[in-house]
Amino acid sequence: MNIVRLKARGSHLFLPLSVLAILIVINLIKGADYFSMTMINGALYGNIPNILFGASELVILAIGMTLVTASSRGQDISVGVAGAITSAVFVQILLGAGDITWLTILEGFLVSCVVGVLIGAFNGSLVAIFKVQPMVATLILFTAGRSISFMIDGKLSPVLANELTSQIGSVMPGVPIQTPIILTVIFIALVAVFLKTTNLRLYAETVGINEKAARLNGINPIQIKFFTYMILGVCCAVAGFIAVSKAGRHDSVNILKYIEMDAILAVAIGGNALSGGKFSISGSIIGAYTIEVLNRTFLRLEVETETIKAFKAVFIIILMVLASPVVREYIAKAKKKTGAGIEGGSAQKTGALHSSAASGPDAPAKKEV
Amino acid sequence: MQSEKVLEMQGICKTFPGVRALHNVDFTLRKGEIHSLMGENGAGKSTLVKVMTGVYEKDAGQISIEGKAIHFKSPQEAQNSGIGTVYQEITLCPNLTVAENMFIGRGRHAFVQWKRMNANAAKLLDSLGIPARPTQQLSSCSLAVQQMIAIARAIDMDCKILILDEPTSSLDKDEVRKLFELMRELKSRGVGIIFITHFLDQVYEISDRITVLRNGELIGEYEASALPQFELVSKMMGKALEDVEKMKKHEIPAKNGGVPVFEASALSSDAGVKPFDFAIRKGEVNGFTGLLGSGRSESVRAIYAADKVTGGEIRMNGKKVKISDPIDAMKHGIGYLPEDRKGDGIIAELSVRDNIILAAQVMKGFFKPLSRKQAEAFADEYIKRLNIKTASMNTPIRSLSGGNQQKVILARWLLTHPEYLILDEPTRGIDVGTKVEIQKLVLKLAEEGVSVTFISSEIEEMLRTCSRLIVMKDRQIAGELSGTNLTQSDVMHVIAGGGE
């Protein structure tokens, strides 16, 4: 059992990366021009840019979902709805300002972030203070959210017909890469810096693994859970901002629809335990892009649009079974029987294991002398 | 004389990454005998048991039951072949009833016959003298009773071999006696019992034979009557024994006068401790003693604000301070090693490194993470200083043995450089060698000027390390002993209520 755990830890990115590789191979078989890109009006287009473009919101939400999962041992199913509400607020502020400038956009964006934080605080207080199961707690907003968004919209679907927001949703003049891709990269970088300069990782993991012990070591579990939900709230606001800029209008019914399930799936594909504890944000990011690649692969293979969801489900079942501890343990056992060093890639790792195994008996022996 | 062998293991080998857990170990169990399996933590006792019960697959060797070679692929198979196991940590479901816990997962029928199940449970509980009702929720029973229910569950599986892994570590004397009666009864029925414990007296009280393991190797198999206790200890520990000898001669550091480092008056908590006064001086080692449930753990938890403090006043070095959460206590230089290592101490999935730096890191603050280099340097320093056996500092703490996990938690608090360190049962369920190391460490800390409160179920340990003992009874202080009064019988007198 220990062996499996050790290997699983070292290679938590193995599964999402190999799935991504398989999907890319399938795409290459379908047509060798998969990686080709073209410049249209000074910006890069092609399969890869489209994937990065399409997955922006999902990637951002998956990051927040990972943190919430780690600390509260549960998932937030209201992220899509929360994004609908924050983006509705954003649109209202923009339309109310009359003259749309970069400043009003920034102002709208910041207000929508505040709304996102408030939504996160609402969910977070239910989970952290009142100890409601995360999925049940967020079910409340999931149910009510689109109606709220619809009311903010004034029962319409307002149109954002202006040059600046469409630049955010597509390309800025003189920049060869689509704006949502750049925003996503900036967001990932900010999260990385935040994790590097704070103890969020240690605190969130500790709270997710052992709340009682966390408290005895001076961590306030309520604060940490609350905080991760607020971060997720910001993620929702950013995702909503990008989604509404892409669409050019706010459609309360369809904006970020069903994205919560994909966000949870991205966390799972990324090798994170949905029961909390240790987490890998890079895994979730790769998981999110994998889902986007998967969707587009079906389109490219000309699977009928109506049937895509069924194929997607089949693929995900296979993936989840392969990633399950049962199969991992079985593979580890099979590997052990056939000799550990079959894969070239794992040769180094097994070598390290052997050397530490060799030094193992020495360590206790030292104490004897 | 030679009764038939019910279990025979030969040449068992088992290796984990980084550790050779078992090397060529033989073990035999006869019908109707109680066989103690002895060794330090990490000697391979638990691994041997887990190989026996199909939890781990052996790398090499043979196992046969009643002469038939067997190869278990799962614990279920072992159970079906008549091996019942009761682990140190209770593995029952607290939210089910006693009867459900005894029969769960055992029925061959799709439907449960509640009446019959409860009646059977009542009969079994009665015959074993276990004070519990079948319809009672398990969580409402004391830890000791839960343990006995786990045994009852194993017994009722018609087992030929019963493995008891540290069954007595959370029982008081009376309960141990009841358990032993139970074991003798089973022995007379022809069950072979494997008994694992750290209490030497108990080993001699009940066992027929003793097998000793050390560092994953078989040291030998002995008739209990032919192996003096002293020799047993020396066989278990090898060289560590000399340390025990030295320990006993260790001088208790002299008391310093002046203002107490920590002083509490009328402190009480919602865990039911009655208001008590308590003070400790610089460099002093004192202990809270008393029977299980006497309130000794609850008292120190109140000091650390691990439970909600409901009243009282605290002074540190004469200055009044407010401690309403563990973080306050930490900031005032108090460290606390909890009684329940698994539930309150370790962060199981995190690495040894993260577990070591945790408390120091939290004190430093959320926005001031230690650099990876610093964290590694600290972890490395304390792994060496406390002689923690781990494959690396990145190994998850859960894969360490109990004694080494405890050392990691100790390291965590030492790293915070506390003025006052509370150690609640730091030596529970760990091997003799590590116990001695921890006691020596306590004395060394005291010499360096740290005040320590040391709690242990083993009174000898406390008599050896503490210069003052506070005896608890019924959740309040029954007496205080120090200096020449410090003998075991004095403590017993106070507990028994003689007062005097």
| B 338-377 residues with CB < 8 A to A | 338, 343-350, 354, 358-359, 361-363, 365-369
Cβ atoms of A166 and A253 within 8 Å: the answer is no
pLDDT at A117: 98
User: CB under 8 Å, gap of 24 or more: what pairs does B439-446 form?
Assistant: B439/B247, B439/B464, B439/B465, B440/B243, B440/B247, B440/B250, B441/B386, B441/B410, B442/B285, B443/B250, B443/B252, B443/B253, B443/B285, B445/B414, B445/B421, B446/B253, B446/B283, B446/B284, B446/B285
Distance of alpha carbon B442 from alpha carbon B229, whole angstroms:
26
Percentage of chain B exceeding pLDDT 70: 89
Query: Cα distance from B359 to chain A (closest Cα, Å)?
Result: 5
Q: Which residues of A fall within a CB distance of 8 Å from B363?
A: 218
Cβ atoms of A81 and A146 within 8 Å: the answer is yes
Residue B337 touches partner A, C-beta closer than 8 Å = no
Task: Compare all CA atoms of chain B with the CA of A224 and give the residue at the minimum distance.
Answer: B366
pLDDT at A336: 67
Q: Closest Cα to residue A246, out of A293, A178, A295, A153?
A: A178
Distance of alpha carbon B215 from alpha carbon B42, whole angstroms:
7
Q: What interhelical angle do A56-72 and A179-197 show, nearest 10? A: 20
Residue A202 touches partner B, C-beta closer than 8 Å = yes
pLDDT at A342: 40
pLDDT at B109: 61
Q: Which residues of B fall within a CB distance of 8 Å from A219?
A: 327, 362
Q: Nearest CB to B343: which of A2, A6, A212?
A: A212
Q: Closest Cα to residue A368, out of B238, B314, B199, B169?
A: B238
Count Cβ atoms within 10 A of the Cβ of residue B326 and give its class: 0-12 exposed, 13-18 middle, 19 or more buried.
buried
Q: Closest Cα to residue A113, out of A147, A90, A145, A94?
A: A90
pLDDT at B367: 94
pLDDT along chain A (369 residues), means of 10: 43 79 89 85 87 96 97 96 97 90 95 97 96 95 94 89 91 92 97 96 96 96 97 98 95 94 92 91 94 90 86 84 78 68 39 37 34
Q: Name the band, by pLDDT with cuts 50, 70 and 90, for residue B215.
A: confident
What pLDDT, in 10s, does the model give residues B311-334? 999 999 999 999 999 999 999 999
**DSSP codes joined into one string, B423-492:** EESTTTTS-HHHHHHHHHHHHHHHHTT-EEEEE-S-HHHHHHH-SEEEEEETTEEEEEEEGGG--HHHHH
pLDDT at B500: 39
- Going across the sheet that includes B217-223, the strands are B68-70, B60-65, B5-16, B19-30, B217-223, B209-214, B34-38, B192-196, B161-165, B83-86
Q: Which residues of B fall within a CB distance of 8 Å from A214?
A: 347
Q: Which residues of B fall within a CB distance of 8 Å from A199?
A: 361-362, 365-369
- Going across the sheet that includes B451-455, the strands are B334-337, B420-424, B451-455, B285-289, B468-473, B476-482
Q: Name the band, by pLDDT with cuts 50, 70 and 90, for residue B41.
A: low
Q: Give the pair of three-digit tokens for residue B329.
A: 């206590």
Q: Bigger pLDDT: B246 or B268? A: B268
Q: Give the pair of three-digit tokens for residue A337.
A: 């029987």
Q: Bigger pLDDT: B412 or B157? A: B412
β strands within B66-103, DSSP E: 68-70, 83-86
Question: Which of A22-36, B193-207, B360-374 holds the top average pLDDT?
Answer: B360-374
Within 13 Å, how many C-alpha atoms sit on residue A179's CB side?
Answer: 18
Distance of alpha carbon B486 from alpha carbon B500, whole angstroms:
15
* Alpha helices (runs of H) in B223-325, residue ranges in sequence order: 229-237, 240-249, 296-304
Cβ distance of B326 and A356 shorter than 8 Å: no
Interface ipTM above 0.90? no
Q: Name the band, by pLDDT with cuts 50, 70 and 90, for residue B472.
A: confident
pLDDT at B485: 59
pLDDT greater than 60 at residue B475: yes
Q: Nearest CB to B16: which of A2, A200, A368?
A: A2
Distance, first Cα to last Cα, chain B: 52
**CA angle, corner A306, sides to A303 and A310, nearest 5?**
75
Task: Compare all CA atoms of chain A with the CA of B412 and give the residue at the minimum distance.
Answer: A217
Distance of alpha carbon B41 from alpha carbon B285, whole angstroms:
26
Q: Name the band, by pLDDT with cuts 50, 70 and 90, for residue B20.
A: confident
Cβ distance of A218 and B363 shorter than 8 Å: yes
Cβ distance of A218 and B359 shorter than 8 Å: yes
Distance of alpha carbon A253 from alpha carbon A247, whole angstroms:
13
Q: Closest Cα to residue A65, out of A132, A140, A123?
A: A123
Residue A367 touches partner B, C-beta closer than 8 Å = yes
pLDDT greater than 80 at residue B173: no
Residue A360 touches partner B, C-beta closer than 8 Å = yes
Cβ distance of A210 and B338 shorter than 8 Å: no
Distance of alpha carbon B448 from alpha carbon B443, whole angstroms:
9
**Mean predicted lDDT score pLDDT of chain B:** 84
Residue B19 touches partner A, C-beta closer than 8 Å = yes
Question: Is the whole model's pTM more than 0.90, yes or no?
Answer: no
Burial A74-93, CB ≥16 within 10 A → b, else e: bbbbbbbbbbbbbbbbbbbb
Distance of alpha carbon B414 from alpha carbon B325, whole angstroms:
20
Q: Which residues of A fall within a CB distance of 8 Å from B369?
A: 196-199, 202
Mutate which: B349, B367, B416, vs A, most A CBs within 10 A: B349
Q: Closest Cα to residue B208, out of B190, B229, B194?
A: B194
Residue A368 touches partner B, C-beta closer than 8 Å = yes
Reported residue count of chain A is: 369
Instruction: Report how far apart, in Å, the C-alpha atoms of B104 and of each of A44, B156, B164 are.
Output: 63, 12, 20
Q: Nearest CB to A203: which of B56, B366, B396?
A: B366
Q: Nearest CB to B366: which of A1, A199, A212?
A: A199
Cβ distance of A277 and B330 shorter than 8 Å: no
Q: Which residues of A fall within a CB distance of 8 Å from B325?
A: 215, 218, 220
Q: Closest Cα to residue A367, out of B16, B401, B33, B386?
A: B386
Q: Bigger pLDDT: B49 or B87? A: B49
Q: Nearest CB to A213: which of B216, B240, B347?
A: B347
Distance of alpha carbon A52 from alpha carbon B239, whole angstroms:
64
Average pLDDT of the segment spanning B225-237: 79
Residue B53: which residues within 8 A CB-CB, separation 6 or more? B72, B75, B78, B79, B83, B85, B163
**DSSP codes joined into one string, A234-292:** HHHHHHHHHHHHHHSB--TTTTTTTHHHHHHHHHHHTT--TT-SS--HHHHHHHHHHHH
pLDDT greater than 90 at residue B95: no
Residue type, A215: R
Average pLDDT of the segment spanning B240-269: 65
Q: Name the band, by pLDDT with cuts 50, 70 and 90, for residue B393.
A: very high
pLDDT at A180: 96
Query: Cα distance from B170 to chain A (closest Cα, Å)?
Result: 21
Q: Which residues of B fall within a CB distance of 8 Å from A5?
A: 396, 399
Q: Which residues of B fall within a CB distance of 8 Å from A272?
A: none
Cβ atoms of B38 and B211 within 8 Å: the answer is yes
What pLDDT, in 10s, does the model give residues A22-38? 889 999 988 888 888 88
What are the φ/ψ torsions at residue A4 (nearest 5 degrees)?
Answer: -60, -45
β strands within B94-235, DSSP E: 161-165, 192-196, 209-214, 217-223
pLDDT at A339: 52
Distance of alpha carbon B113 from alpha carbon B136, whole angstroms:
17
Residue A350 touches partner B, C-beta closer than 8 Å = no
Cβ atoms of B467 and B252 within 8 Å: the answer is yes
- Scanning the structure block, which residue is given the tokens 């999907």? A23
Cβ distance of A213 and B344 shorter than 8 Å: yes
